[in-house]
Homo-oligomer: A and B are copies of this chain.
Amino acid sequence: MASGKYAKEMDALKEHLAKHHLKFTRQRELILNAFLRQEHITAEAMYHQLAKTDPHLGLATIYRTLNLFCDAGIAQARHFGSQTQYDNVSHKGHHDHLICTGCGKIVEFENCEIEKLQEEVAARNGFSIQTHRLELYGLCTRCRN
């Protein structure tokens, strides 16, 4: 049992590592702690952020580790524009996105009723939801003219 601020996710990671014969490294711990402070981040952004304290951390390692987090259910990759955003699944207030197809504007929102209906749909099909992704595409007020 790990202790500390992010004990739950640390345990989830360790369990995933053990199950797949992977190893717990300084870099993985480092990147996990940095990642969990964010709601969502790109590999590039994390690279620059960590470079301040760990200048020798490679970009490839960041990518590999964030993808590992996705496998472990801690992160979720989302393609946004030309880059990949890694979302923090455990972040409270999971939010969804309204995306304007005209100007690219993004509005975040949260809706409990929708989430409840999602649970119902999942239950009807024998699924237990771990996470979800909802993106609404349309035109914002300004672009509708």
Set B73, B101, B127, B138: member contacting A122, Cβ < 8 A: B138
Question: B137–A134 contact, CB under 8 A?
Answer: no
Chain B residues in 8 Å Cβ range of A141? 126-127
Are B128 and A144 in contact, CB atoms less than 8 angstroms apart? yes
Query: Considering the chains assembled together, what is the distance between the CA atoms of A140 and B137 in angstroms?
Result: 28
- Answer yes or no: A111 CB below 8 A from chain B CBs: yes
- Given contacts A76-B101, A81-B79, A122-B98, are A139 and B117 in contact (CB under 8 A)? no
A73-B101, A81-B79, A114-B114 known; A130 vs B121 contact (CB < 8 Å): no
Q: Is A125 an interface residue (CB 8 A)?
A: yes
Q: Please, how many residues of chain A have a CB less than 8 angstroms from a CB on the other chain?
A: 38
Q: Which A67-121 residues sit within 8 Å CB-CB of chain B? A: 70, 73, 76, 78-82, 98, 100-101, 107, 109, 111, 113-114, 117-118, 121
Are B80's CB and A79's CB within 8 A? yes
Distance, CA A81 to CA B67, complexed state (A): 13
A131 partner residues in chain B, CB cutoff 8 A:
137-138
Asked whether A132 lies within 8 Å of B137 as measured between CB atoms, the reply is yes
Question: In residues 42-77 of chain A, which contact B (Cβ within 8 Å)?
Answer: 70, 73, 76
